[in-house]
Structure formats: structure tokens, C-alpha cells
Structure 1
Amino acid sequence: MSRLRCVHEPFGDSFYFGPERLSERYEGDEVERRESGFADVTFGDVVRSIQKEEEKAEAEGKRLFIKDIAHYLLPPDGKPASIAPSLIHLNDGATDTAPITFKNSSTSSTNTTNSTTASTPTPNSPPYPYLTPTEPSNPTVLPLEILRRFHWTFLIRHPRSSIPSYYRCTIPPLSHKTGFHNFLPSEAGYSELRRLFEYLLAEGVIGPKTAGRSSGEGEENANGSDGEDETEICLIDADSLLSSPPATIQSFCRSCNIPYDPQMLSWSDPASRRLAQQAFAKWQGFHDDAIKSTGFFELREKRRGEGEGEEERLRREEDEERGWKEMFGEEGAGVVKEAVEGCLEDYEFLKGFALRG
């Protein structure tokens, strides 16, 4: 789009493949990590690449928009976090690692310890835990100073929709294309997103005001900010987006101070489709449905749970679970159901902050 320069999931490179990787997915496959082209990419490299993209966006008179996945910033399974080795010299002037100034960028707990001085691991060394300092309550491997430099927005989806969709990418035949040959519940990311969200809220990086609500409404879980220079909470629930795309996107734009254009609802032109295919190329198979799409269309059916009684809800969920068994088999459906149930509490918490059109 003419007003935005977009970057797609940059932190996945360091999370999965680099010498500071947090994920176990490729831990036993040095060849796969090398062939990815990202085996030497650190979190610091990603941060500096974002700075360069921000400079390009400024030169073009645009705003930088980064779409990424929250759990790429956190150690999996609730493990304690410490700062990535490539980012520990943020404030000491070291030119080889010191990032960065983000002036105009947007992007979708431990106690302090006395740690040893960090050394950046080699690509073949055990990457985590790092021998680096922690920051109080920070669940990520990025310093708070970096987290503050983004205008954060959030997109969530009901686990009963997202988990089956993701599980499908980790089994044949689609797994042959994605390269993900086993399902890791931690990659659902709901717990990680909630912990990141709560940390940003507690530190005043976002909130307390929630987009689309009157002052004071829904702020009982927020911090005590006086409202000056605050970035309001902008969180979209996918059910709302799909049931009412124009109103939801308008609310998003209003919250982020981006001029709304109805053309945001469509990407059928050849240039937009080429751009999407290029951005999605490194994650083959995961974005096939998005690549084939041409825009948002308002759904005729009600949002999930809207005006639904208990019997209707149970009947709908039984139908969904029957579909999982048909698609994944008895064992696979059980894995999906367990993962869904493990994410519901975090999803419902986050949904409580969702914007209203």
C-alpha cells in the first residue's frame, strides 16, 4: 500500500535458525538451518535490519509496518527470559551490536539477576539459556528500551479456529511443503502473547485506554497512566474483522493514525499479489490461503458465540470436533482439542481488550 512499507515476520529468522535461536524445532538439524539462509542471524541483526527498513520508509514518506508473531520474542513453554547476547550492548556504544532508533514504526517473567558477562554463542553452540542479564518482569529477549520504540497492535483468533488450521500445516501432505513435521503446542503462542501484552501494559508501553471505547471503559486491568502520550490498546479479534471488515479496519486506522482507504479491503491487483507472494516465500505452505485470497468479504453468518445459547454452543463444538476427527483422525483430534483447551483462558483474557468498531 502507498502509505506503508511492510516487513513480514523478521524475528522468525533468529527464533528458529540463528545462533540465539529459542525454538527446538531445528535444533537437531544443522543442515536445515544452514540451508534456510538464516543460520547466522541474531536478534540484533533483525533489530538492525528493521532500522534500515525504517530509514527506507522515511525516505519514501511512508510508515513502517511489521507483521510478526509474539512468541518469536519469548523462550518457549514459560522459560525465564534474559536479553539476547547480540543486544546486551544497547547502551554502551558498541558499534557492532548497538541498535537503533525507531521513529515511526508499528508492530502486530523473571527477576533481576547478577549474571556473568555474556558472550555471543557460535552457530553450533547450545543457544539457550543465555548467560546474559535479565530485566525485571520482562518475558522477552529484547530490552524494554527496544520494545518501547514500536507502536504495538495485536490480532487474535479463537483457538478453535487457529489450532486446527496450524495443526494441518504440521502433518502430511502439507508438512512436506512447510517443513514442520511435528506439532509443538508452544507455537500456538497464546500464553506468550498474553505475557507480552501484560508486560507492555504494566510498563505503560500500551494503554490504559482501549481503542473504540469511552474513557475508563474496560481499564480495570490497566496501569495507572495519566493518559499523556499514551498508545491506546489496539487489539483486533479475527471474528470481528471477518464479520465486519470495513468498520474494524477503520477503527484500526483511527487508533494508529493511519488514513483509511477502502482499497485496504482488497488486494486483487497484480502488484499487490506479487508483493504478497514475495513476502510469504520463506514460509512455504503456511500462507497459501492468504495468497489465493483477493480481499475481505463480510460474512453472512453470526460471529462465533453471538446470540448463542448453551445448547447451540455445545452442538457447534461437537460439530467442530467431529470435523477434526474426520480430518486428523482420533489421535490428531485429541491433540488439537487439548491444545485448544490450553489456550482458551489466555484468548478470553485478551479478547476482553478487543476494539469495537
Structure 2
Amino acid sequence: MDIKSIVLSITFTLFSIQLWAQDNAVILVYHHVSNSTPPVTSVSPDTFKEHMRYLDQHHKVLPLQQVIESLQNNRPLPDKAVVITFDDGYKNIYENAHPILREFGFPYTIFVNPPLIGKAHYQLDWKQVQEMASQGVSFANHGNQHTHMLTREKNETEQAWLQRSIEDVQQAEQQLLAKLGYSLKYFAYPYGEFNNKLKNSLADLGYIGFAQHSGAISSFSDFSALPRFPAAGIYSNLKTLKIKMSALAMPVSEVSQQDPVITSSPQKLAFNVKDEDLRPSQINCFQNNEVLPKEINQEHITLSIKTIDKAGRHRINCTAVSKQDSSRYYWFSQPFLMATPQGQWLD
């Protein structure tokens, strides 16, 4: 190969890397920033500041709205774009997280339950919300109450449940509009729980949905249930979190599990994956930290799933190293949600 061909090859590779990097972002989700709240959903102020310092040095933190609109309209994003979100509107966000985020100049979004604002002692009040909004914080919808939305009332039909759930989201959105003067129509599912009927109905009404299974987002993502990486509790260790902060959305399609809600354990999970920048043979999928056996037929992957027999929230995470940058991993997560035999959902 002559020098000109080598230069052209390098130039094309660099151009491909730039395009590939500009169509990805990572959304982090936090709940509490405190030393005195439940450890499973909390990160200490010191650890939170460590996260923010790392982001400041290695990533570009952007507003959620900018990232969503850029990906939906195929506009390029900076490489290693990250969005910071919080669920539940806890007062310790204002007390402990907000000063740190202002120090770094980072935008962020809080998903709140409007009827709880100023009513529950552990929640923000509207004065704090409006103060934070004036300083660049955006607020979005987490429903009227922080409840398991998939729970049906006694003798409630599926259609009645769906109508009640949609009305709950719409009412919360109207309260946000009345209090803040804008409506993003972004909805974070409480506990990350949803089914296809709920997410499709909200999508038909123009809502963007945010879940709690892991992964990066891209222009080809499902905008009715976008993944977010948890960054608190056992997931707050920066050594592992920094790998997720640089994650890329795995280009999967034709996923066999259409609805995350299951009543019995599936035996298989199958999907197709484009392999321009990853090798299907290098995809590793994990269930409860154990590697799952897989079969590969060109771009078609079939996983053998271990039995799911406990009520709760489960997921399978798949990763594969990038051909172009071995320090970065493609990520795909499939949630599985199972109620108790009595139809209850666990916290």
C-alpha cells in the first residue's frame, strides 16, 4: 500500500470514529445525595463530587433536552456526552448536590412527583424548585405519586388501568406546566417499571420515556423507554462507573423479548446486531454477574437464560468492545419485570 492510500485509510478511519462518537450519549440517574439515606439509592456528597470532578475532566455534560433533540434530529453531539438526572425530587438534592453541580457549571434534570413537592418533608418545595429552575435546572415528570404504575386496583380491567395511568401522567405534566411555565413531556417510570401498552400509549401522546435498565442512547434507541446508568449505591464506584460513562449504544434490532413484563421465565433471548464496529463473537451477556451461553449465526445472537423465578426487577446486560477504541464498550440491556403471584410489585 502506498503512502497516499495509507493516509486516505487513516483519514477515513478517523472520520468514521468521529461520526460514531457523535451519535451517542450516556444518561446517569441518581436519587439521594446524602450520608443518612438508604444506601441502595444513595451516594455520599464526597463520592458525588468525585463523580463530577471526573466528568469535568473527561466528558462533556449536556442538558437532557439538547441531547434528546440532537439524537432525534441526527445532529452531532460531542464525544463522550453525559447527562445527569435525578429521580424523586429529594430535598438533599438541593442541599448537597446542587451546590456541587453549580460549582462545576453542570446542567441537570430532576424528575419529580408534583403533588409531593412542598408537602412531604423529605421533598423539595416549590420555592427551591423555582430557585433551581432559575439557575438552569430542568424539571420533568415522575407521575403524581411514586407508586408502582403496573399495579391494578381490585377488579380493574386492563383498559381502566391504562386510562388511569395515562391520566396520572397527564395531570402531573399539567402541574409542572402551571408551576414552571414549560412542559418537556419527559416521563421517568417510577422504579423503572413499564409495559408495552403504557410506553406506547405515552409515546402516542408525545412523551419521551426514561427507564432504569442500563445502557447508552443513540439515534436508533427506543425513545419511549431510554436506558440510564444508575450511579448510586453499589454502582457508585468510580472505577466501574467510568467505563459506563464512556459506553456506546449497541446497535441491536429484532429483540425477541418485546414486553419487559413476564409471568414465567423465558428460556431464550435473541437479537440481531450490526457489526461495523464490534464483533458478535466478542459480545458477552451477563445475568446476575454470570456469563450466559450464546449461539451466533452471523449477526443473530441467541442467549440461553437462567430461570427467573423471583418477583422483582431483573435484567440481562450485554457488552462488546469497540473495534476502533478498545477502551470503550457497546452496551445493551434487556429488563425483565415480574410481579408476585398476587399481582404486587416489589420496592
TM-score (norm: length of structure 2): 0.30
Greater share of residues in helix: 1
